[in-house]
Chain A
Amino acid sequence: EPEVTQTPSHQVTQMGQEVILRCVPISNHLYFYWYRQILGQKVEFLVSFYNNEISEKSEIFDDQFSVERPDGSNFTLKIRSTKLEDSAMYFCASKQDRGNSPLHFGNGTRLTVT
């Protein structure tokens, strides 16, 4: 069964450094999402992406965050200058179409900022 793939599974970085989290959504899916989950807390929406542009973003998704779909298969989340509070699990998800289809999640990238 097709799946959403995320790399790396674990990223450790120093505060102030830039990180890029990578995702390969399911190939025929049209909608792409990033969520984050701080340890022990709820799944929080960051951003949704459709037709090569951001469709919605949350208050969390401030100027230090950006997303890109550089080559038609990868979907990346960049954090320009990481903060300690960015430490979390980051999940990429994709959705097939505009109808009732569900989100399919990748296995996540655990980001640790030291």
Chain B
Amino acid sequence: QKEVEQNSGPLSVPEGAIASLNCTYSDRVSQSFFWYRQYSGKSPELIMSIYSNGDKEDGRFTAQLNKASQYVSLLIRDSQPSDSATYLCAGSNTGNQFYFGTGTSLTVIP
């Protein structure tokens, strides 16, 4: 199993809908989890960090972590066309090594 796995998509949702992005991880990833947004040709931009089981909300974004199932997700409420991007799931271990998924391409259709 890869350290971090994501469905590559593409995922399309209509404007105003909820976009759900999912990620699973292996035992090598244990410490912290992050969601990055990457627009085409740009660098990854941090959206959310989550370290503990449960939900963490920031505006229209909610990250969910389930350590028992080794699963982390990102919900984007009221999706906007400007949310169209590739979303990278990443996890880190205690050695400060980061593992990135392949990214999920999201398109929000006006």
Interface residues of A (CB under 8 A from B): 31, 33, 35, 42-43, 45, 48, 50, 55-56, 89, 91, 95, 98, 100, 102-108
Contacts A102-B49, A103-B44 aside, 14 further interface pairs with beta carbons under 8 A come to: A31-B96, A35-B100, A42-B103, A45-B100, A56-B97, A98-B96, A100-B51, A100-B92, A102-B34, A105-B36, A105-B43, A105-B44, A106-B43, A107-B43
A103 touches B90 (CB 8 A): yes
Is B88 close to A, CB under 8 A? yes
Q: Is the contact region of chain A dominated by helix, strand, or loop, or is it mixed?
A: strand
Instruction: Count contacts on B: residues with CB < 8 A to the other chain.
Output: 25
Binary CB contact string for chain B from 74 to 104 against chain A (1 if under 8 A, 0 otherwise):
0000000000000010101001111111110
Q: Which single member of B38, B97, B103 contacts A48 (CB below 8 Å)?
A: B97
Q: Which single member of A48, A89, A91 contacts B96 (CB below 8 Å)?
A: A48
For A91, list chain B residues within 8 Å (CB): 43-44
